[in-house]
Structure 1
Amino acid sequence: MDTFMVLLEKIQTFIWGPPTLILLMGTGLYFTFKLKGIQLFKFPKALKSIFEKEEGAGDVSPFATLCTTLAADIGTGSIVGVATALRIGGPGAMFWMWMSALLGMTTKYAEALLAVKFRVKDENGEIAGGPMYYIQNGMGEKFRWLAKLFAFFGVVTALLGCGTFPQVNAITESVSTSFHIPVIVIGIVVTVLTAVVTLGGIKSISKVAQFVVPFMAIFFIGGSFVILAWNYKALPAAFAEIFSCAFSKESAIGGATGTAIISFMTAMRTGVARGVYTNEAGLGSSPIVAAAAKTDSCVKQGLISMTSVFFTTIVTCSMTGLVIISSGLLEQSTLSGSVLVTQAYNSGLPFNIGMYMVAVGIIFFSFTTILGWNYYGERCILYLTGSTKSIKLFKVVYIAAIAAAPFLTLEPIWLMADITNALMIIPNLIALLGLRKVVVEETKKYFDREERTKVNVSRTVTQ
């Protein structure tokens, strides 16, 4: 097992090395400049678009696609994952999560725009879209191999990475510790609930997401805000620590058992990797569900999808990270991610309320991620096989993986999730850069048309 762990760590370090980081951050930086800071200057419009009624071809409403995206994005990575990143990369990892999110908003915008523009219908009349379709239909048949490569990595990530093992393992550990329920009982309940919802397809998943996402966001973010408000005197020092550790050549964290030296590269790699894990910008998963939106505007859906990065990383992960850093417990480097976040929240709330708050947050966050990734995996397997019959087989395997997950060890799971994430990122970002002119042209046409409409309305009013 030790040899296997060492191998996974080496693969993770290599695959999240400078080339992947440059490709990921560079793509976001490119779109930020070419789209003139769309994530900042068009953000108010993006928020407004979420609640506007949209008509067009598609399976679910734009709001439902956003909720489904958030359901898949805001998982255990937003709680335990953030704690793990801070423990490995130090407080500076938080800064690089923010940077990956800021640049990732434009990446997410581009992904969703292309997903809607190049979507198709499957043999059952349901929408099918995402990187595999905009690679094939946008870049041409000669790149079909790249589309298949992405779809294959998507299935692997759904089964071995983001979708199953980390989420179920987090639910099991949290519920077992907080409520003293046997692991086998937890596993059975999660497996049955997953089967009931996922067998209903995207409409069933989106209905659950629309109900659960607002509730879980208010519950967890509200509780985190209370802790930060109560402990507001520690916040300036927490922010100072984040920024100083983000750029220092090396920083140290540690308690009585010793000191851990954190390098700049470790902080950056860990922060960016965990940022992608939580907001999935550049991963190529979210555009799979964005393609199902009832909309006639690929740009408008891009704007709506862009907000998911803000809600997941800038809001949710920041709350978790600030609670942990301001608690002072990060210096106790022997604490695991789950124990660290639980103790941090407990220290900010009386009567062990924090422990139960984290447990409930993990249950909802992780379960909705399981549902969202089931859909991502379905669409990827559909593309690979070309037959909707393969979806049923995928669901059986997916549910079996959920059933097995409670009995697996956590450490290799997180490493495998990071590795499979990177394997999806590479073909997707190649496609985004290959189709960059389409993204820029569609964006320019949309906002030019909007500007002309405003001018015409203004002239009509003055006349």
Structure 2
Amino acid sequence: MNLLGMNIHDVFTKIDSFVWGPPLLILLVGTGIFLTISLGLIQIFRLPLALKYVLNSRKYEAGVLGDVSSFAALSTALSATIGTGNIVGVATAIKIGGPGALFWMSLAAFFGMATMYSESLLAVKYRTIDANGQMSGGPMYYIKNGLSHKKYSKILASLFAIFGINVALFGIGTFPQVNAIVDSARIAFDIPEILSAAVLSLLVAFVTLGGIRRIAAVAQLMVPFMAIAYVLGCIVIIGLNLDKIPATFSLILSSAFTETAARGGFLGAGVMLAIRMGISRGIFSNEAGLGSTPIAAAAARVKEPAKQGLISMTGTFFDTIVVCLMTGTVLIMTDSWTGDLAGAYMTSYAFSTVLSDLGSFIVTVGLIFFAFTTIIGWNYYGERCTEFLFGVRGILPYKLLYILIVASGAFLTLDVIWILADIVNGLMAIPNLIALLALRNVVVAETRKYFGGLRFED
């Protein structure tokens, strides 16, 4: 397909380069840095407390509004974040940007923890109840109800919701995940794509039509199991290659600040490409600053906004600083990044070099589960954005369209899928980051009030 002399791939590539140019990267990381300073390095000094809350977050707080427990809300958020970005996205970032991309991915995630805390805090503070009696919250609500300029805030909130629906339907939520599932099933188990797509569509329909409680129930069951199994596989590989750790991290650090020369199947990369790939793929994975996780956080049955902010903050920590960093370490220490393979094939090869067929099995099954939970998690995000724009009457048509797109998502070219996902992700982040900066004083005030109360209790 040609458009003014360019094919559709070239058009999307140019749009993607513009959206994910220096201004957005500076806005994403800059917002995280600004909030980190404003909140007194909350991701360091309050991480132990946040992890303690996660361990106790299965409990409901008595007399508090909400649809699910804090743990269920976190699991729903993690179901959407721990996905192909942790396997395919990390491999893609390193394959294109070099080992240094892993450094920038981890650094952005560190500052992103403060961003995640802030947006989840605001989501609980400004959440509302829809006509069906369910909690509705997220950037569209704290933009609309938190910002002082009501006319412009409504426009900005609507833009976020529009972009959010597009990310759900055409970005993170569907095509990359569906493509990963059907490819993995075909390669590992010789299952035809059309059969995989049909079964996947039925499973997605069963879970998503049951609403947030069924989505959360599935997420609570699958997310901890799949994450622990995958991380254990990484730990075994790293443990068997302990002698390579110094050289691996030395390469990551040096490549983050100097050009990485071509090597084997790696074509070489400059520092700016490493930064861009690391941050963009990191955001694709952990979604800090994107505004998606606070939509799930708003459903939590929790009284204090800051408490849910702390719980949600751990999601970025688990997703990128644990899972993505481990994946990248395995790829680099096994030299898989220098070969001709890319994406899931690269990660599968890295695991198989140490664990043989078991390694490939772990990656394949992990990818299938990761991708499936991302699909159901993003269905909920898109649903809440739809409810904001069209009311509860728009929810069922949205869900049916979502299922239809899942069914057809197996038959698009992978390159186009990733580029399209990148574009809509970037557009979604912009109104959310603007709101976070505008509402920074609210975040700081709520944080001081909460921790002041904790000191008083002590």
> Structure 1: which amino acid aligns with 2:202?
V
| 1:33-432 alignment runs, 5 A limit | 33-52=37-56, 53-55=59-61, 56-140=64-148, 141-142=150-151, 143-248=153-258, 250-255=259-264, 260-332=267-339, 334-350=340-356, 352-385=357-390, 387-432=391-436
Write the deviation string for residues 394-451 of structure 1: whole angstroms up to 9, x where unpaired. 0110000000011111111011111111001000000000100000000011111211
Counterpart contact for 1:231–1:348, Cα < 8 Å: no
Query: Scaled by the length of structure 2, what TM-score is found?
Result: 0.96
> Structure 2: which amino acid aligns with 1:70?
L
In the TM superposition, what is the alpha-carbon distance from 1:253 to its structure 2 partner?
3.3
Of 179-188 and 198-207, deviating more is: 179-188
3-state SS of 1:79 partner: helix
In the TM superposition, what is the alpha-carbon distance from 1:261 to its structure 2 partner?
2.5
> Structure 2: which amino acid aligns with 1:124?
N
Aligned length: 448
CA distance in 1, matches of 2:305, 2:299: 11
CA distance in 1, matches of 2:17, 2:32: 22
Q: Which consecutive unaligned segments of at least 5 residues does structure 1 have?
A: 455-463
3-state SS of 1:294 partner: coil
CA distance in 1, matches of 2:155, 2:69: 32
In the TM superposition, what is the alpha-carbon distance from 1:359 to its structure 2 partner?
0.7
In the TM superposition, what is the alpha-carbon distance from 1:54 to its structure 2 partner?
4.4
CA distance in 1, matches of 2:337, 2:131: 52
Aligned counterpart, 1:458: none
Of 214-223 and 297-306, deviating more is: 214-223
CA distance in 1, matches of 2:274, 2:280: 10
In the TM superposition, what is the alpha-carbon distance from 1:336 to its structure 2 partner?
2.1
CA distance in 2, matches of 1:243, 1:357: 28
Write the deviation string for residues 336-376 of structure 1: whole angstroms up to 9, x where unpaired. 212211111111113x2211111100011000000000000
CA distance in 2, matches of 1:415, 1:445: 42
3-state SS of 2:289 partner: coil
CA distance in 1, matches of 2:60, 2:408: 41
Identity %: 53
CA distance in 2, matches of 1:99, 1:3: 35
Counterpart contact for 1:32–1:39, Cα < 8 Å: yes
3-state SS of 1:36 partner: coil
In the TM superposition, what is the alpha-carbon distance from 1:50 to its structure 2 partner?
1.4
Counterpart contact for 1:167–1:367, Cα < 8 Å: yes
What RMSD over aligned residues (CA atoms) do the two structures have, in Å?
Answer: 1.1
The one of 439, 445, 451 equivalent to 2:443 is 439
CA distance in 2, matches of 1:234, 1:171: 32
CA distance in 1, matches of 2:336, 2:155: 48
Query: Scaled by the length of structure 1, what TM-score is found?
Result: 0.95
3-state SS of 1:237 partner: helix
3-state SS of 1:69 partner: helix
> Structure 2: which amino acid aligns with 1:133?
Y
Write the deviation string for residues 242-274 of structure 1: whole angstroms up to 9, x where unpaired. 1000011x212331x6x6220111000110001
CA distance in 1, matches of 2:127, 2:55: 23
CA distance in 1, matches of 2:337, 2:127: 45
CA distance in 1, matches of 2:169, 2:354: 36
3-state SS of 1:287 partner: helix
Write the deviation string for residues 182-231 of structure 1: whole angstroms up to 9, x where unpaired. 11111111100000000000000000000001110111111111111112
> Structure 1: which amino acid aligns with 2:49?
K
CA distance in 1, matches of 2:220, 2:453: 32
Counterpart contact for 1:253–1:330, Cα < 8 Å: no
In the TM superposition, what is the alpha-carbon distance from 1:51 to its structure 2 partner?
2.8
